[in-house]
Structure 1
Amino acid sequence: MTESNRGLLLALFAYSIWGSFAVFFSLLKHIPATEVLLHRIIWSFIFVAIILTLTRHWARAKSALLNRRLVLALFCSSLLIGANWCLYIWAVSVNRAVEASLGYFISPLIAICLGVIFFKESLAVYQKVAIFLAACGVGFKIIGIGEFPWISLSLAISFGLYGLIRKKTQVDTVTGLMLETILLLPFAAVYWVWLLIQGEQHFSMSLDGLLLILAGVLTALPLLAFSAAAHRLSLTLLGVMTYLAPTLQLLSAVLILGEPFDKGDFVTFSLIWLSLLIFSGGAIWRRRRTPESIV
C-alpha cells in the first residue's frame, strides 16, 4: 500500500469517527452535557498519556509546559474547544444535531473571516462569493424562518477561534491535545468530585461507564489518525474531505435520529453547500496553479 493510500484510509477513519458523533452522543443524552464533557476530558487525557508513554514523547510535552506563552495560548484554546464540545453534546441531547452540523459546515468560512481580521489576509473573488452565499443562508434562517441559528454560529465561531489560536502555537497535534486536557483536567476532576459528593454522577461499571470512557478515546483517536494522514496527503484533498464529517453528522441526525429537515432547512443548507462548493472549487483551482507535492 502506498503512503498516499494509507493516508487516505487514515483520513477516512478520522472523519468517519467525527461523523458518527451525533449518533454516539445521542446514546448519552440522558446524562447532562457537562458531565459527559468532564469524562471526555479525563479519558482523553488518560488515552493520550498512554500514547505518549508508548511512543516515549513525554519530553516534548514537558518542554511545552515550561513555555509560559504557549501554556497561556493553549489554556485559551482549551476553554474554546471545551465549550465547543459541551455545546455539541448538549445540542445532540436536545435533538438539535442538524443545527449543530450546520455549524461545522460554516466553520471553514468563519476561519477565512478570522484570517482577514487577525492576519490581514486578502480575499479572492471566489472566497467573497462563498462568504456572501453563506451569509445569505444564515440570513434566510433568521428572516425566512424567524430563528437565530445561535448553536450553529457558536460552534462555528468557537471552533474558528480555536483554530486561530492553534495556528499561532508551534506545537504538534498530540502534544497540543495533551496540554489542553491537562489544563482542563483540574476543572473536570473538581466537578467529578462534586458530583460524587452530591450523589449525582452517572459513571459506573455499566454501559454508561463504557460509553463515557469511549467518549475520551473517540476524542483523541481521530486526531491521531488525522495527524498521520496530514503528513501523507495533499492539503487540497484534506480540504475537500473536511466536509465529510458534518455531512455524516447531518445524515445520521436526519436518517437515524429522526430529526426534522424541512424546506427552510433545505434552503439554508443549499446556500451553505453552494458556498462551500465555490470555496473548495476555487481553492483547488488556485492550488493547481501552484503545484504541491504529496508526501
Structure 2
Amino acid sequence: MCPYRGGMSDERRGYLYGLTAYVLWGFFPIYFKTLRPAPALEILAHRVLWSVLFVALLLAVMRNWRFLGRLLRTPRLLGGIALAALLIGINWGTYIYAVNSSRVVETALGYFITPLVIVLLGVTVMRERLRPLQGAAVGVGALAVAILTFDYGHLPYVALTLAASFGCYGLIKKRMSLPPAEGLFVESAVLALPALAFLTWLNIEHGATFGQVSAVHTVLMVLSGVATAVPLLLFAGAANRVPMVGLGILQYVAPILQLGVGVLLYHEPMPPVRLAGFALVWLALIIFTVDGIRSARKNRKPALQKASQETGQKAEA
C-alpha cells in the first residue's frame, strides 16, 4: 500500500469514501421525508432532472464528453443503458414512495436481501455455480421472506421490488463499462424527457408543490440531484481502492441505519414475528459474508504463490 499525503493509505482512504457513501444512503429516509408534501412521482422527476444538470456541470468541469461518441456508435450499449435507466427509475420511485408511506423498515429489508437476489441472478442468468454456503444463505433468506409475508399479510413487495430492481440494475451495469459519473448522466438523461413531461403536466394541472411550499423545500428539491450523485461518486472512489470483501461488508451499513431510522426515529412497528424474520435475514447475510471471506482467501493463495514464483524467477535471472 502506498501512503498518501497525511499518512493515510490508499485503501484506508477507500474505506473512508465507502463508509461515507453508505452512511449518506442510510440517512436518505430523513432527506426524502423533508420533501413532503410532494408526491413520490414529483420527487422522482425532480431527482432525475437535477441529477442530469449537476452531473452535466461536473462533466463540463472535467471536460469529459468523449464517452458520448462511443455511445452513439454502439446501439447495443444504448439499449442496455435505457434498460438500466428504467430499472434505477423503478428503484428510486419505489424507495421514495415507501419512505413517504412510513415503510422505511421495509426499504431496509429490501437492501438487506439485495445480496441474496444478486446471488440468485448470478446462478439463473450468468450460469454461475452456487456454493454450498451460498445455497444455505439463499434458503434461510427465502424462509425469512415467508415469515415476513405471514407477518405483513402479503408479500413484502416494496422490499422485493427494491432488491430485484437494484439486483437487475447491477447485473446490466456489470456488462457495461461506463464510469459512475458518465453512467449516472446518461441514465438520468434517458429518464429526463418523461420526467420533464410529467412535471409540465403537473404544473398545468396545478398539482405541483415545487416553489409552492417554502424556500427550504424548493432548495432541498433542487439539491436532490447533488444528494443522488455525491454518494455514488464516493462509492466509485471506494470501489477502486477497497477489496470486494470489504465492500461487501460495508454495504450492510446503509440498511442497518435505515432500520434504525425507521424504528427509533419514525417509530415504525417491529412486532416479534417481524423481528424473527429480520433475524433470519441477518443470519443469511452472516452465512453469505463468511462464504465471501473464505472464497476470497482461497482465491488469494494461488495469486500470492504465483507472484512469489515470478519474483523468484526474476531474482534468478
TM class by shorter chain equals over 0.9
Which residue of structure 2 aligns with residue 128 of structure 1?
Answer: 135
Distance 1:144 1:13 in 2: 34
Q: What amino acid does structure 1 have at the position aligned with 2:124? A: I
Percent identity reads 39
Count of residue correspondences? 293
Question: Does the CA-based 8 Å contact 1:202-1:208 persist in structure 2?
Answer: no
1:243 paired to 2:252: yes
Write the distance in 1 (CA, Å) between the matches of 2:28 and 2:106.
14
Pair 1:145–1:95, CA change in 2 (3 A)? closer
| Per-residue Cα deviation, 1:43-75 (whole angstroms, up to 9, x for no partner) | 111111111111111112343243211111110
Residue 184 of structure 1 corresponds to: 191
Contact 1:23 1:256 in 2 (8 A): no
> 1:149 Cα deviation (Å)?
0.7
The whole-number CA distance in structure 2 between the counterparts of 1:66 and 1:48 is 22
CA distance in 2, matches of 1:96, 1:5: 34
- Distance of aligned partners of 1:111 and 1:222 in 2 relative to their CA distance in 1, 3 Å threshold: same
Range moving further from structure 2, 139-148 or 261-270:
139-148
* Corresponding residue to 2:271 among 262, 271, 295: 262
Are 1:5 and 2:17 matched, yes or no?
A: no
Partner of 2:215: 206
CA distance in 2, matches of 1:32, 1:135: 32
- Kindly provide the CA deviation profile for residues 21-46 of structure 1, in whole angstroms up to 9, marking residues without a partner as x: 11111112321100000000001111
Question: For 2:72 and 2:240, how far apart are their aligned partners in 1?
Answer: 25
Query: Take 1:13 and 1:249, find their aligned partners in 2: how far apart are those partners?
Result: 14
Q: Unmatched 5+ residue regions in structure 2?
A: 1-7, 304-317
> After superposition, where does 1:1-295 map in structure 2 within 5 Å?
1-143=8-150, 146-204=153-211, 206-291=215-300
> Counterparts of 2:151 and 2:104 in 1: how far apart (Å)?
20
Superposition deviation, residue 148 in structure 1: 1.6
In the alignment, the residues of structure 2 paired with residue 6 and residue 106 of structure 1 have an alpha-carbon distance, to the nearest angstrom, of 28
Say which one has the larger Rg. Answer: 2
Q: Distance in 2 between matches of 1:249 and 1:290?
A: 33
> Could you tell which deviates more after superposition, 233-242 or 65-74?
65-74
Q: CA deviation at 1:171?
A: 1.7
Q: TM-score, normalised by structure 1?
A: 0.96
Instruction: After the TM superposition, list the runs of 4 or more consecutive aligned residues in structure 1 that deviate by more than 3 angstroms.
Output: none
Moved more, 212-221 or 36-45: 212-221
2:37·2:209 contact (CA, 8 Å) conserved in 1? no
Cα deviation code 1:159-201 (max 9, x no counterpart): 1111111111122222111110111110111111111211221
Q: Any idea what SS the aligned residue of 1:196 has?
A: helix
1:215 & 1:247 partners in 2: Cα distance?
22
What's the CA shift string for 1:206-239, capped at 9, x where partnerless?
A: 1111111122111111111110111111111011
Q: Compute the TM-score of the two structures, normalised by the length of structure 2.
A: 0.89
- Residue identity opposite 2:231 in structure 1: P
